[in-house]
Each structure stands twice: as structure tokens, then as C-alpha cells.
Structure 1
Amino acid sequence: MLDTSRRFAYTEEHEMFRDTVRKVFAQHLEPNLDDHEEKGIVPREVWKAVGEAGLLCPTVSEEYGGLGLDFGYCAIVGEEMSYLGSAAGFTLQNDITANYFERLGSEEQKQKYLPGMISGDVITAIAMTEPGAGSDLQGIRTTAIEDGNHLVINGSKTYITNGQNADVVIVVAKTDPSQGAKGTSLVLVDAGTPGFERGRNLDKIGQHSADTSELFFNDCRVPKTNILGSEGRGFIHLMEELPQERLGIAVAAQAGAQRAFDEAVKFTKDRKAFGKTVFEFQNTKFSLADLKADLQVGWAHLDWALLRHFKKELTTDEASAAKLWHTELQWKACDVALQLHGGAGYMNEYAIARLWRDARVTRIFGGTNEIMKEVISRSI
């Protein structure tokens, strides 16, 4: 269990919510982790159960069926899910798409989607990445060209989280290709729209329980009213949401690092070699001491960043630094912990193997860590 006794970002109400999260995950997520990994997807009934318990989109206002809470409640879901070792797409809906809909959506769009997103009946995705455009979103080629009262979408997206399950996708497309980034808009495409097809559920190194897909748009027609936010301001809308997205990644990374450390401590204190426990060797103790010091710093920094974000003061470069630092720590912790498991760490029956596999991508998604350094450098 994740120890939160020394945290300072959360209130008593937050911790009461955490207890609920743990109970719901213990019932609906933990017993089915291996099944979700094997099938490559989290079933919709699990989304429903999590939604019914109030764990989806807790920041959305009560007007649309939400709880109207602060981002700390989303962060708790992310921490507990990462510590558990699940890659379910709940955090994408909580941390990213819910904010897009509530902040940018028309009243009609909010009424259509938000109640279902909260209940788990509506699963969302956001389609940014393309085969030729990843961290550099200005390079996207998907177009949504005006045709009367409609937009005609053509292009493809890849590595899209919740791609198989999604009922609605926020598609990043060029509505005016001649304007470059200034011609980018966010367009809603519902599942079942003619011309919209899902590709395969991609075969990934890790995070197997997260359905991650290719999406294809071939003369896909949607009403112009499906634009989310302002036409031509899609790139700006994306940039406005980056601090919360990257903070959410940092939150999950820190919890994943802690779980890896805890697994290593448990294993080395139990496993014996040369007549004593593996923990008793100086190399083991010093390796774990180094990680413990990093984790102490990490939790303090994470709480600082959360409190900054609660007050809407966390800057893009600060959030990028958090994403960079905590994901690098996650990889270090997982790799050291696997090494301390010896050959057992390479066996999928041990939790550390999954934690190690799942950690590798966190330095890539949400903007690669190399891009994080570029963003941070601009503030110097």
C-alpha cells in the first residue's frame, strides 16, 4: 500500500477519497490485472464500475453530474492506479479530455458527453500523434476541410490511448493547412461515423492493458458544430492543457517508482544467497538507500507541484521539469529494482517485470524527455 502519511498536498477529504479508490480498485481492477494484460484492454464494465463509484472526471462541475473537486482527486486515482500496476485509460479521461470538454465545449457538447464520461458510459480519446508527427504537433497532416456545414476529415493517427474503446475522439486536424499551426482545430468524431475506422490494437512493449490504436479517417464527414473550442486555435488549446497533462504523468511516474522500490525491499529481505539475505549485502543496501533518498525528494517535489497547480500557478516549464525528473526516477527505480531481483526480475510472474516494461514509455509520451529539456531551456 502506498504510504501517504508524510504527504502535504492532500487534505483529510482527499485521503477519504483515496480509501474509496483503493476499495474500488481492489474489487474491480486488482483481481483482473492479468486478464486485462492478456486481452490488451480494460472491459467497459470496469469503466462503468469505476464511474459509478465517482472516480471518473471528479473535477467536472456538479451541473453535469460531476463532483466539482480539485485536481488532487484525479492525482489520487493516478497514484493508486500506477502503484497497483494498471495501465487503464482512466487517467487520460480524468486528467486530459474532461478538461477539454468542460473548458472548451459548447453547452450542447457538454450535455452530450460529460455525464457519460463521468458514469463510464462514454469513453474518450484524443488523437494527436501521427506516423510522421509525434512531439512536434505542428507537423500534423490530418486535415478537416470545410464543405458547406460540414468538415471532411482525411488522415491517420497512431499510438492513441483508449483507441479501441473510445466512443468519441478529439481529433487534432488542420482546418486551414495554409496557416500551419494557426490553422489547427480540435474536432469531435463519434464512433460509428462513416469514414472513421479503427486499426489494430497495437502490440506494445509494455502497458498491455491500455488499448492503443491506429485510427483512420477517409472522407469522414462531421458537422462544423463538432469543432471543440475555437476554429484555428487548436494548437493553442493543446498548449494550454500541457501543464496538467505533464503533471499527471509525473504523478503516475512517482507512484510507479515507489512501487518498484517497495517490491525490491520485499524481495531482497526474503531471498537468501551465500547464507544471508540479499538485503544484507552492502551493494543492495546502498542501492536501496540511494533510491530512498531520490523518492523522498520526489514526493516533496510532487506535492509542491500539486499545490502550485491547485492554485493555477504551475507553469509549462515547471510541469515539463516535473515530467522529466519523475519519469527518469521511475526508470531508474524500476531498473535497479529489477536488477536486485536477479533472474527472477526477468520473469513475468513477478510484479517488477510489468513495472519495468510499463515504465519505459513514460519518458516518451506527453512529449519526449528530450523535448522537455528544450521546453525548460526556453525559460532560462
Structure 2
Amino acid sequence: MTVDFQLDRPLSEARIVVAMSGGVDSSVVAALAARTGAEVIGVTLQLYDYGAAVQRTGSCCAGQDIYDARTVADRLGIAHYVFDYESRFKGSVIDRFADEYMKGRTPIPCISCNQGVKFTDLLSLAKDLGADCLATGHYVRRVLGPNGAELHRAADPARDQSYFLFATTQEQLDYLRFPLGDMPKPAVREIARELGLLVADKPDSQDICFVPNGDYASVVKKIRPEAAAEGEIVDLEGRVLGRHQGLIHFTVGQRRGLEIGGQPEPLYVVRLEPEARRVVVGPKAALAVRTVKLDGLNWLGEDQREGLTAKVRSMAKPAPVRFDPGSASGAGGEAVHFLAPEYGVAPGQAAVIYDGDRVLGGGWIEETVPAEPISA
């Protein structure tokens, strides 16, 4: 199989840098790049403690994964370099993750990682190496439109990662390449098997790379011990229903773990009040959101206004919306209005806006506006 890397000069004269995490996806990207006849350089960023992660499976960018990336590069006959970005990753991703939880928000560290370490630092490294492009194993499509490169959903909806890449700038998109965007995952693994790559059947990364076994609370507690401070669980009227062992155990929309009995209907986390260390709970109806106000908007589109959808979680079904740039609160912010109430929306999440399959942009949710007035 051949892939068009959309370069402006013959591939035989080109240099392609591939971001190699040690998984099957980026390994196959390196193989596809090598098939073109271009000079290919694999680059791996060590992002967190090498020793602690050596035996971990289903992670990336540490220990065994670095070894796997190097082994694949040797098999393909391409150069491979490892760069230590552990301190940068800790400051821009891990510490931010902990701080967001401390503020009662719902962080998405994979977006922060792509926004910073991967698509800023790694892209800069690729340019320093004289590359014509940086290729990654993300499942998204780069489509050449009438106004330049556009970011689109992957052909395989089950693998689509466009939600995590909303912060990609136009300048970055001009330089990036995503060879797997038109491919289903089984086809990627088959290429790896045909080439005899040791990672052909390696499990996919699970959850967040630096969070072992999905235990977010233990990671936050280790970085910010004060995050385990106890507090009250109250209803919408402020009546105390119970106590909790730290806000880090809760996110908006959560039902399990409240341990409150004797209620006439199921209760959900409606909001978190970090200054008072309170968890506010209520019925599902209290989770309905009509509008979200955004910060840090990144816009890749033109002036689209009609037929837009938005996602507030990576696997959520796109919801019809109206987008008002610069209208939120009348103070120069941006607002996304859902045409029907949306549930489980929380500050700290991202709202990503689409026109069909095309990613127009998105921003971080700073505030939510209930669909209907509810008691304070």
C-alpha cells in the first residue's frame, strides 16, 4: 500500500520525520513513509519516568515503548532519535491535569499533550531536522480544500481522534501528515504483520498514559496531597446528604460512588464547588445544559454558521449547535448553543465544532448555562 504524503517535491528528495510512540500505529506510519523512498527519521519523546514505566503495557512514550520504537526503526532501516521531554511534559500536562482536578474541572490531558509537547515541541524538532513534514499515527484526515489544508474526521468512526486535535493550528496542519486517516485499524495491523514488525499485535494504549490502571485520584493525590480533603455532599437546596473523601473522586455527571441512600430518585454530580469543598448533586434533569462558554478558541474554518455540530466528549454523538464567536457574556468570549439539551457537560472539557466531517475548531469549556433554571 502507498500513501500520498502531499509534498511539494519528489519523495526521493524529501525528508519525513515520524513521531514514533512505540505502538503499532506510528510504526506503520514509519513503514509507509519508508516505502516512498524518502529519507525517514523516527523521533520518540520520553515523556515520563523511564524506570517506572518499563514493565507497563498499553502506555506510550516511556520504557518498553521506547525500546519497541527503536526496534521497529532498526527493522525498517531508518534513523531513530529519543529526546527527553520529561520535565516539559510534567509541567505542561501532568501538573495541569492535577491542578484542573483541584479546581473541580474535568481535564483532558491528551489534548494538552497534542497542543504542547507533540504538536509544538516535536514539530519544532522536525523542522530543526530539516524535514518536509511531520507524520503521526493519529486517526484523522488532512484534506486539501480550496483554502488550504483542512482537518477531517477519520474514515473509521470507531478510531477517530479528531476531538483531541481541535487545538491544531493552521500552521501546524500545513506541516503535519496523518497517513492512517483513511484506514481501518485491522488494515494497519495487517501491514505490520506483513512487514514482520514486533508491535503488530501490541495492545492499544489505554486511558491516560501516565495514569496506571485508570486511577486518576491516586495520581492527583500524589502531586497535590491537599486534593484528598474531605467535604460535604449537598443537594441543590444546600441540604447536607453526606460526606466525601475529596473532590478528585468526582466529575460532573457521575452517579456511582456517592453512597447516598434513601433518595426518591437517582442523584448525579451536578457541579463541584472547590473553594467550599462541596459536591452538589441533583436529579438527571439538573444536568441539562443549553449553552457553554469557551476560552482558548482555535478556529480552522472560514465563516460557517449553518448546519454545525459539536462534541463535548471524544466518543459523544455530535449534537446540532449554533456557534456565536465573540458573543459569550458580551465580553468577547465564544458561546456554543445546543439546539437540544446536552448532558454531562463540565468546565475543563473541550467543545469541538464540526461542519460535517470537517473540524472547524473548538475551545475549552469555562462555564455551562443550564437548559432550564434550577435551584441554587
What TM-score do the two structures reach when normalised by structure 2?
0.26
Tell me the TM-score normalized by structure 1. 0.26
